[in-house]
């Protein structure tokens, strides 16, 4: 028979003085919010001239941006793994 469900593990890790879980969560939220704000700001600054202005090389810049969207971010994990593995 399975043991009854308890929240003892959660309370012990949240109350442990050596593991500031709430601080780690706050740090993650701050980093995620800053990252999202930066992405929105840079995307807006890149999108405006592409949508409203005419300039030489506009198609090439647009094509380069679209080409980078086809590269999955998971591909960047492999070089990091190889570097850390050495």
Q: pLDDT by residue (tens digit) across 2-11?
A: 788 889 888 8
Average pLDDT score over residue span 3-22: 86
Q: Is residue 3 part of a domain?
A: no
Q: Evaluate whether residue 2 is within a structural domain.
A: no
pTM above 0.85, yes or no: no
64 falls within a domain: yes
Q: CA 41 to CA 53: how far, in whole Å?
A: 18
Distant-in-sequence, close-in-space partners of 65: CB < 8 Å, separation ≥ 6: 46, 50
Tens of pLDDT, residues 65-84 = 999 989 888 888 989 999 99
- Rounded CA-CA distance 47/62 in Å is 9
Q: Got the DSSP string for 41-57?
A: HHHHHHHHHHHH---TT
Q: So what's the pLDDT on residue 10?
A: 86
The whole domain housing 42 covers 8-85
Is 45 domain-assigned? yes
User: Is 70 within a domain?
Assistant: yes
Give the Cα separation of 10 and 29 in Å (integer). 20
Domain-embedded: residue 56: yes
Q: Tell me whether residue 31 is in a domain.
A: yes
**pLDDT reading at 1 higher than 80:** no
Domain-embedded: residue 25: yes
40-51: pLDDT as tens digits: 999 999 999 999
Structurally, the chain folds into a number of domains equal to: 1
**What is the pLDDT averaged over residues 48-68?**
94
């Amino acid at each position: 028979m399975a043991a009854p469900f308890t929240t003892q593990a959660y309370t012990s890790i949240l109350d442990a003085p050596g593991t500031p879980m709430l601080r780690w969560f706050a740090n993650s939220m701050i980093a995620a919010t800053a990252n999202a704000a930066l992405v929105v700001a840079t995307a807006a600054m890149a999108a405006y001239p592409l949508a409203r202005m005419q300039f030489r090389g506009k198609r090439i810049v647009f094509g380069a941006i679209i080409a980078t969207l086809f590269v999955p971010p998971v591909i960047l994990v492999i070089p990091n793994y190889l570097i850390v593995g050495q």
